[in-house]
A and B are shown apart, each in its own frame.
Chain A
Amino acid sequence: MVRFLGFGFNGKKTKKQIKTIEELDRIAKKLIRRDLELSLIREKREKEFKEIEAKTKDLEEARKGLLNMLEDVAGSRREVEEERNKTLAIISNFTDGLLVFDEQKRLSLINPQAEKFLGIKSKKVIGKTISAIGRMSSLKGLVKLLGKEINPIFRKELEVKDDLVLEVSVLAISREEQIENLVVLHNITREKLVERMKTEFVSITAHQLRTPLSAIKWTLKMLLDEDLGKITEEQREFIEKTYQSNERMISLINDLLNVTRIEEGRYVYNPVLSNITKLVESLIDQYKDEISIKNINLEFKKPKKQLPKVLIDVEKINLAVQNLLDNAIQYNKLGGSIKISLKSNKKEIEFSIEDSGVGIPKKQEKRIFTKFFRAANVMRMDTRGSGLGLFIVKNIIEAHKGRIWFKSKERKGTIFYFTLPVPIYK
């Protein structure tokens, strides 16, 4: 367009024309520049548009993602809700009573069974501290057992009423960095009743059995002592065997009575300061006939210096050592050996008895202190024995706050150890 205008005034250019041409030229240049600018702007817009398009796409994707996510969250929430309902249903219908205390020892949950056991309503206790709850008469016993700190306990008995005995356990549960305490109340009334009936039955039976057994014992003893007239050697032999059988029966009954007393918690301990070395010596002396009949070599390693006296129920410790010595003889081989030793440190006295007997089968080691348990190998060699001896020994030692353990190798022998604490004087 500029060139076209130029042709029109060829050769005769006036000042005005020149000016016009210059003007036109300037405008044309401006237009060209604008054209350029416009195309740049267009390009930029197109670019921006593309970017927006890409972003929109991304946003769309994100939106879809978000929708999916929301759907997932709703699903999860449903699941959590269901799970929560399920847990609540379990807690509500659980046969054990459950209570949960939060970090501040406030009751945060109580299930219907616990309400029933303790005779309280949840709304009256929820949110209250253990100390506040302890002031309620129906909860005094439980709170006393739990203590203000509600430390973990395991299967402690609580007699709520005459006809309701609970077994209480406390577990610490940590949740979101908070420690809560779960109290489990398990009803053991029936078990206790059965146990008491069993104990009473054994106690009465054992007592009733002792009466005729002592009559038999006394009669046989008087026959043997010839208080009832002279007897022949043959008669003596038979009477003596009968006497021994009767003695075995008496000792079985005594074991049963001891076990019943242990279980009833009636195993009274009468502690006196005593010299254990003397006690062991006199027991060895009592067993010298049995030891020589089996030709056993017994060695008693006495301590070099005198042992400190220990606080013991002499009768019970005597019974414990006797049971261990009796086993070491009974399950030993002919011509075998027994080594007894006593030693002490500041804290305790340690007794040990090593035999060269049949040993305890590896598989049955765990059950050795269980009531009525007899190892397979001794059952084969000797049908006598109640399986109560070691149960009684363990109970006696533990009641004295001592420890008992053993090492054994089948067909080689066994070593039993026990300790008794040395009293501390302040």
Chain B
Amino acid sequence: MAKKILIIEDEKIICDLLERKLTREGYSVVIATNGIDGLVKMREDRPDIVLLDIIMPKMGGFEVMEEMNKDETLKDIPVIVVSNSGQPVEIDRIKKMGAKDWLIKTEFDPQEVLEKVKKQIGI
């Protein structure tokens, strides 16, 4: 069975590119465009990993992490943050909340996202 990746990201083109990149590698990809939608989808069908944006409408990445930490069924799912912002205070905060890794979109590319995913959950 293909491993499941949930992408929570409001920028459609980023979602499309990541979906393309990851499905080509054999992963199964689900997309949510905001935090609330993301929590609904991870409760419906538990993913193996979450790729999480920080600044999103309705519910941002920090709140999603808070909710996941409160929920016994969700708190063990590894999270990689994929964000436009990369301020050290923010990175510190989300790592303390349990995120496995942090990627700044302008400094990384889809190939590197793929490598980080592989490192966390394998193929």
B105 with A214: CB separation less than 8 A: yes
B21 with A268: CB separation less than 8 A: no
Among the stretches A14-22, A118-126, A215-223, A410-418, the one at the interface with B is A215-223
The answer to the question of A250 belonging to the interface, with a C-beta cut-off of 8 Å to chain B, is: yes
Interface residues of A in 246-269 (CB under 8 A from B): 250, 253-254, 261, 266, 268
A-B contact count (CB 8 A): 57
Complex Cα gap A270–B84 (Å): 20
**Contacts A207-B84, A227-B20, A268-B88 given: A221-B11 contact, CB under 8 Å?**
no
Complex Cα gap A222–B110 (Å): 7
Complex Cα gap A215–B13 (Å): 7
B14 with A221: CB separation less than 8 A: no
B11 with A211: CB separation less than 8 A: yes
Cβ contacts under 8 Å, A221 to chain B: 109-111
Complex Cα gap A270–B20 (Å): 37
The answer to the question of A43 belonging to the interface, with a C-beta cut-off of 8 Å to chain B, is: no
Cβ contacts under 8 Å, A261 to chain B: 87
Interface residues of A in 309-347 (CB under 8 A from B): 315
The answer to the question of A237 belonging to the interface, with a C-beta cut-off of 8 Å to chain B, is: no
B87 with A222: CB separation less than 8 A: no
Q: Per-position contact with A for B87-120: 1 when CB-CB < 8 Å, else 0?
A: 1110010000000000001100111000000000
Q: Per-position contact with B for A280-324: 1 when CB-CB < 8 Å, else 0?
A: 000000000000000000000000000000000001000000000
CB distance from A265 to the nearest CB of B (A): 12
Complex Cα gap A317–B89 (Å): 17
Cβ contacts under 8 Å, A228 to chain B: 20
A207 with B85: CB separation less than 8 A: yes
The answer to the question of B1 belonging to the interface, with a C-beta cut-off of 8 Å to chain A, is: no
Cβ contacts under 8 Å, A398 to chain B: none
CB distance from A214 to the nearest CB of B (A): 3
- Identity of the chain A residue whose Cβ is nearest the Cβ of B17 in the assembled complex: A218
How many A residues have CB within 8 A of the partner chain?
22
The answer to the question of A225 belonging to the interface, with a C-beta cut-off of 8 Å to chain B, is: yes
- Identity of the chain A residue whose Cβ is nearest the Cβ of B113 in the assembled complex: A218
Interface residues of A in 177-209 (CB under 8 A from B): 207
Complex Cα gap A65–B70 (Å): 100
Cβ contacts under 8 Å, A227 to chain B: 20-21, 24, 110
The answer to the question of A239 belonging to the interface, with a C-beta cut-off of 8 Å to chain B, is: no
Cβ contacts under 8 Å, B13 to chain A: 215, 218-219
CB distance from B31 to the nearest CB of A (A): 15
Chain B, interface residues (CB within 8 Å), range: 10 to 19
The answer to the question of A158 belonging to the interface, with a C-beta cut-off of 8 Å to chain B, is: no
Complex Cα gap A219–B84 (Å): 16
Complex Cα gap A219–B105 (Å): 12
CB distance from A174 to the nearest CB of B (A): 47
A268 with B14: CB separation less than 8 A: no
CB distance from B20 to the nearest CB of A (A): 6
Cβ contacts under 8 Å, B109 to chain A: 217-218, 221-222
The answer to the question of A375 belonging to the interface, with a C-beta cut-off of 8 Å to chain B, is: no
The listed residue (A210, A215, A222, A250) touching B21 by CB distance below 8 A is A222
CB distance from A240 to the nearest CB of B (A): 14
Cβ contacts under 8 Å, B92 to chain A: 270
Counting chain A CB atoms within 10 Å of each CB, the highest count among B17, B24, B106 belongs to B106
Q: Per-position contact with A for B20-31: 1 when CB-CB < 8 Å, else 0?
A: 110010000000
B84 with A214: CB separation less than 8 A: yes
Complex Cα gap A213–B88 (Å): 21
**Contacts A215-B14, A218-B14, A221-B111 given: A210-B105 contact, CB under 8 Å?**
yes
A215 with B106: CB separation less than 8 A: no
B87 with A210: CB separation less than 8 A: no
Q: List 23 A-B contacts (CB under 8 A).
A: A207-B55, A210-B85, A210-B106, A211-B84, A211-B105, A214-B14, A215-B13, A215-B14, A217-B109, A221-B110, A222-B109, A222-B110, A225-B110, A227-B20, A227-B110, A228-B20, A250-B106, A253-B106, A266-B87, A266-B89, A268-B87, A270-B88, A270-B92
